[in-house]
A = this chain, B = another copy of it.
Amino acid sequence: MTITEKAMLLKKDSTRLAAAGVDLRNKALNDICNALIDGSAEIFEANKKDLKDAEENGLAPAVMKRLKFDENKLHASVEGIKALIGLKDPLNIITLKRQLDEGLTLVRSTCPIGVIGMIFEARPDALIQISTLCIKSGNCCILKGGSETKRTNKALFDIIYKAACLAGLPEGCMAQAEERSEINELLTCDKYVDLIIPRGSNSFVRFCMDNTKIPVMGHADGICHIYVSAEADPDMAISCIIDAKTQYSAVCNAVETVLVDKSIAEKFLPLLSESLKKARVKQNGNAEVQKIIYCNLIDEDGYKKEYLDKEISLKIVSGIDEAISHINTYGSHHTDCIITKNESLKEYFFTMVDSANVYCNCSTRFADGFRYGFGAEVGISTGKMPPRGPVGLEGLVTYKYKLTGEGHIVAPYCDGTKNFNFEDLQ
């Protein structure tokens, strides 16, 4: 089947999956756990072949580590599914119940989005996590994993899909795309696919955003800032910056630029510079910064760079307004933080910074669905429309309006013989 044909089948079955009760969805998740354990030999076998190819292709050890799927990762994945089973059903939650007039009742309740196209990095556990999140939220999914773990992905998909169908979910509950060329076809399926969630490099996410009519949830860049205000605790600021830059540099919520208030720059920058040096972070700054500390020279364009590495941009700002203006101009609306003891400065920063996550006195690395207690995460959205920020189960639903009458018609409400009597119920 082509991707379009698969998408068509999923669209057809999407309302069937939406109608599956939470017990059935949880049963399917439980059966998937068992099937993964039963099929582990097969999965490890496939993964060994993928790893062998990866080694031959000279992939870096850090990448190899992500590609590897062993007993530990299987165990963690199964635990993840069990935790997911325990999460509250995100469907059929009533968010509005209103009597419009006697006998005419409006209900707004959550329902699945429909068909989601998920394109993700070469990390076999990602396939398990994403497919089970979609089942829990009643969404059909088309899964395209990284080609470096092609065999592992196929083995995992076959096991998960078979278990889901045997548990009673519709045939069109999920499908797999195996070739990179199928991504382009997937992006044209706007009739059948309701949402695309791409994970991967900036350029890849941007490519998806620029080449489809389907809504795309995600983020291309992750240019996060920490603004050290005049009223910052310098030790706290340094600790947060070092954590945000070095704890894991290659991720979107790592800090890329530190903005230092002019009034404390002379004292603070040397302290920060020393800590960064110790942490082996390459320091970049403009001429103004260079007057105070030793660093590589960058121009304004340098502040648009996402390093994804142990490298950082430094800038001196005249005050909070310049900090906010810099963040809103050069940032990616992902996660931005102020270090301050001043409560009203914090509130001002929270309101004026146009980002999905605005922080005070902590590391930017907290921007993550798990760390927010969502129990799971499909990605982080830097778009303005909901879902925004870290997206977990709750972000994978939409809603519909359900109106029940007793033969109500609008004519009498239009000619004034009847009036609405709005009354919120419950």
Closest B-chain residue to A18, C-beta based?
Answer: B351
Q: How far is the CA of A385 from the CA of B242 in the complex (A)?
A: 38
Interface pair A373/B233, CB less than 8 Å apart: no
Please give, as numbers and ranges, the residues of chain B lying within 8 Å of A393 by CB-CB distance.
none
Across the interface, name the chain B residue whose C-beta is closest to A353. B15
A422 at interface (Cβ–Cβ under 8 A)?
yes
In contact, A354 and B386 (Cβ under 8 angstroms): no
Q: Which of B357, B365, B385 contacts A401 (CB 8 A)?
A: B357
B409 & A240 in contact (Cβ 8 Å cutoff): yes
Task: Select A195's contact among B104, B247, B385, beta carbons within 8 Å.
Answer: B385
Contact B400 A389 (CB under 8 A): yes
Distance in angstroms from A52 CB to nearest chain B CB is: 30
Residue of B nearest to A337 (CB): B403
Q: Would B389 and A386 count as touching, CB distance under 8 A?
A: no
- For residue A1, CB closer than 8 A to chain B, the reply is no
Complex CA distance for A100 and B343, rounded to whole angstroms = 20
Interface string of A349-365 (1 = CB under 8 A from B): 01111111111111101
Rounded to whole angstroms, the CA-CA distance of A108 and B195 in the bound complex is: 23
Interface of A toward B, CB cutoff 8 Å: 14-16, 18-19, 98, 100, 104, 106, 108, 111, 113-114, 194-195, 209-210, 213, 215, 233, 235-236, 239-240, 242-244, 247-248, 324, 328, 346, 348, 350-363, 365-367, 371-373, 383-390, 398-411, 413-414, 420, 422
Show 17 residue pairs from A and B whose CB-CB distance is below 8 angstroms, ordered by the A residue: A19-B351, A106-B372, A209-B213, A215-B215, A243-B409, A248-B414, A350-B402, A360-B405, A361-B407, A362-B404, A362-B407, A365-B410, A372-B401, A385-B385, A385-B387, A386-B398, A390-B401
